[in-house]
Amino acid sequence: MPAVELLRGGCVVCRSRGPALCAPCLRRTEPPPSTRMRDLGRVHALFAYEGHGARIVQALKYRDGRRLVAPLADELARRWAEVAPAAPGLAVTWVPTSGGRRRDRGFDQSELLARALARRLGASARPLLRRRPGPAQTGLDRAGREAAAGYLATARTGGPVLLLDDVCTTGATLRAASAALAGAGSPPIGHLVLARTP
């Protein structure tokens, strides 16, 4: 971690003094769209991917995102508790970021979020998915990348699985990852994302 990241404090989004994600920035996000998605049912999101919600996700991915993991995991845990009954033996898994992006950033934001969320839920974090090797996706827009995404489930769990991703646009990524888990005998009991496109 670069030293400057350790020294820099305050809200990652608006730079105000205080916590890594200030309450006003979180309040300024728009509520997520609540439509059901084909083959997925309801996808639970913290906020819409626009305005402040988009700025939070961009900060998580491209700036000093590690500092956002704890406050966002707090919010994800709260959201999950609102929508799902406690599930003994729950495993949290995540849609893995591509190797290149992970190398550029030095971390996979979805993995960090999943591990922090699992701790808050008293669940385990399990890397159950990997990306299927495929053509390079640079040059495609987000919807194109989602449509081209393919995932393999590398393991199964005996218990319930919660699938986490950062942004849901068309749902194609979640659908591909969810289908891979189902094919391995571990269909997710729920899908949780930070942000959904309106």
Note the residues at the interface with Zn ion (CB under 5 A): 11, 13-14, 22, 25
Residue 68 or 163 with smaller CB distance to Zn ion: 68
Task: Tell me the backbone φ, ψ of residue 93, rounded to 5 degrees.
Answer: -125, 170
Q: In angstroms, what is the minimal distance from the CB of 23 to Zn ion?
A: 8
Residue 21 or 153 with smaller CB distance to Zn ion: 21
Residue 25 or 195 with smaller CB distance to Zn ion: 25
Q: In angstroms, what is the minimal distance from the CB of 67 to Zn ion?
A: 12
> Are the beta carbons of 80 and 122 closer than 8 angstroms?
no
Residue 70 or 152 with smaller CB distance to Zn ion: 70
Q: Let me know how many helices (H) and strands (E) the chain has, helices first.
A: 8, 8
User: What is the distance between the alpha carbons of residues 43 and 25, in angstroms, rounded to a whole number?
Assistant: 23
Q: In angstroms, what is the minimal distance from the CB of 16 to Zn ion?
A: 5
User: What is the distance between the alpha carbons of residues 51 and 189, in angstroms, rounded to a whole number?
Assistant: 30
* Upper half-sphere CA count for residue 112 (Cβ side, 13 Å): 16
Handedness of CA 80, 81, 85, 90 (dihedral sign): positive
Residue 25 or 176 with smaller CB distance to Zn ion: 25
Q: In angstroms, what is the minimal distance from the CB of 149 to Zn ion?
A: 32
Q: How do strand 188-196 and strand 129-131 relate by DSSP bridges? A: unpaired
Q: In angstroms, what is the minimal distance from the CB of 17 to Zn ion?
A: 10
